[in-house]
Amino acid sequence: MTFSQTLACAPARPDLSAPPIGTLSPPVPRSALAEVLARYRVGRLLTAEPVAEGLLNRGYRVTTEAGTYFLKCYVDAATANRPKILAHHRAMTDLHALGLPVAPPLSCAERAGTVAGLGGRLFALFPWVDGRHRHGTELEPPQCDALGTLLGRLHGALDDVCAPLDQPPGYQSADPLDSLELARDLRRRAREHRPYGELDELVEQRLTERLDLLAEHTRCRPAPSTAPPTGWTHGDFHGLNLLYAQGPDGGPVTAVLDWDKLGPQPRAEEAVRAATLLFNDRATGVLDLVRVRRYSQSYRASGAATAEHLAAAVHRVWWERLNDFWMLQWRYQRGDHRADPLYPASAGQLAWWCQEYEQVLDAFAN
């Protein structure tokens, strides 16, 4: 298993609120790692190496007398909830049993479950899956097809392994008047930020642009009833949560990782969000619409969504991005700079999307 320090250019969440900030606790001492591993009966700890933390939880590549594993430490308040973690683990185990590329957690003696607690922290142990991350623009057309099919299969299988859902009456979208007010406040903060740097200058320019776009598209706010059907979703489907088989030609997906955000949302919207993170130019954010089309056609062919569902999802995700400022809220309101590297491509993608709206819609829905 390999992990990259690079992050996706935008969050994948079922609501429009800023994602929670996890207050990362200090690294877990080796002695504590050894004690946790003893709960899983995998032998004595030999080596432990931190892996990329992403924005929230911690992880360790550990080698024991029985082999190599991924030990996850849940430190984010939004995910460090034992019943929720156990529910996610059960779904992962069931998906694995259905033949999907999901690595199930190992069982431990504690409470006869898959979660071990120590010192107020919760842990889970997973098999170590060999593979590598691949950006969507590295995929050949048949691999784009396979990825769309895989997401469709996952969505269908989640209906089988998770509790039945009642369709909600709709989802409220962001109010552009609130967004205008927030954009002005963030632009002021960027202008007054010290030391004032290149990113602050870019933010000022992009927020001035965003204010114009919001004013121009105010009447495009989607109604709650236009949301496509709700279903269980991975919640964070993008390149850093996908491992591919090693090899020069790139084999199939060997594991879909990080199920912390498993939950209900409009499934077609997850498919659209995933494509914007998978098939984007990492510098400009511009989408590779040829690959998007192949992926989307295969997702629809799996039966997970119709063209109409994808069209509605494109509009709703576009609106979500137009009204989304979480990266800048982290930087200017909370003094958290972890998302700073994501901003240039994310802002560039939105500006391009507004110009090429019809082409993007066509790539997803035709």
Q: Tens-of-pLDDT digits for all 366 residues of the chain?
A: 322 222 333 333 333 233 444 445 578 899 999 999 999 989 999 999 998 755 567 899 999 999 999 999 987 655 668 999 999 999 999 999 999 999 999 999 766 799 999 988 899 999 999 999 999 999 999 999 999 999 999 999 999 999 999 999 999 999 999 999 999 999 999 999 999 999 999 999 999 999 999 999 999 999 999 999 999 999 999 999 999 998 777 789 999 999 999 999 999 999 999 999 999 999 999 999 999 999 999 999 999 999 999 999 999 999 999 999 999 999 999 999 989 999 999 999 999 999 999 999 999 999
Q: How many CA atoms lie within 13 A of 267 on its CB side?
A: 27
Letter string b/e over residues 48-67, b meaning 16 or more CB atoms within 10 A of that residue's CB: beebebbbbbbbbbbbbeee
The CATH number for 136-171+219-365, chosen from 3.30.70.360, 3.90.1200.10, 3.40.50.1370, 3.30.750.24, is 3.90.1200.10
CB of 11 within 8 A of CB of 93? no
At residue 246, the pLDDT reads 87
Other CB atoms within 10 A of residue 141 CB: 12
Dihedral over Cα of 258, 174, 300, 168: its sign: positive
At residue 56, the pLDDT reads 61
Q: Could you report how far apart the first and last alpha carbons of the chain are, in Å? A: 36
CA nearest 200: which of 349, 18, 328? Answer: 328
For residue 169, give both structure tokens. 């009456």
CA nearest 221: which of 76, 129, 322? Answer: 322
Tell me the pLDDT of the chain averaged across its residues: 90
Dihedral Cα 289, 290, 293, 298, nearest 10 deg: -140
What does the alpha-carbon distance between residue 303 and residue 38 come to, in Å, rounded to a whole number?
44
CB of 270 within 8 A of CB of 296? no
CA nearest 45: which of 72, 73, 69, 74? Answer: 69
At residue 53, the pLDDT reads 53
Which helix or strand (DSSP H or E) is residue 69 part of? Answer: strand 67-74
Superfamily of domain 30-127: Phosphorylase Kinase; domain 1 (3.30.200.20)
What does the alpha-carbon distance between residue 24 and residue 50 come to, in Å, rounded to a whole number?
13
CA angle 160, 127, 236 (to 5 degrees): 50
162 phi/psi in degrees, rounded to 5: -110, 165
For residue 312, give both structure tokens. 């509605």
Please return the burial class of 292, using the count of CB atoms within 10 Å of its CB with bins 0-12, 13-18 and 19+. buried
Which helix or strand (DSSP H or E) is residue 104 part of? Answer: none
What does the alpha-carbon distance between residue 137 and residue 270 come to, in Å, rounded to a whole number?
19
At residue 22, the pLDDT reads 42
At residue 251, the pLDDT reads 84
pTM of the model: 0.91
At residue 120, the pLDDT reads 87
CB of 305 within 8 A of CB of 268? yes
